[in-house]
Amino acid sequence: MNADYIFIENITNNDFKVKQLRIIVKNKYLFPTERTGNPSTYSLIFIIDKHEFEVKYIIGSKDGKSRSGVLKLDLEFFKINKGTILKITKIESNKYTLERR
């Protein structure tokens, strides 16, 4: 059985540039399900430092290949740097917490 949390350890300079966190394949189970061949965008609620933020989660590809999911958020705003380790915990169907480790 999968845990209700994941760790993000793959933050790059490009992630800062495009304001996103990549959710690699082994961690996608924590988020809405990918529908092969049908890209989807979901609105999720993230609690960060006791404040709630709406975050977009994008998953799927038109060519049917499984890819990483993407969380669109401003990493600088949340004081997340390259090399920062994050813990994302699912607390409800569309609600998560994000903590720096």
For 56-60, 63-67, 94-98, which range has the lowest pLDDT when averaged over its residues? 63-67
Confidence of residue 13 (pLDDT cuts 50, 70, 90): confident
Spatial separation of the C-alpha atoms in residues 24 and 20, rounded to whole Å: 12
pLDDT tens readout for residues 22-56: 999 899 999 998 887 788 999 999 999 899 999 99
Q: How far apart are CA 76 and CA 83, in angstroms?
A: 13
Tell me yes or no: is domain 5-100 CATH 3.40.250.10: no
Residue type, position 93, single letter: S
pLDDT digits (tens, 9 = 90+) for 65-94: 777 899 998 777 777 878 889 999 999 999
Domain ranges of the chain: 5-100
The residue ranking higher by pLDDT, 90 or 12, is 90
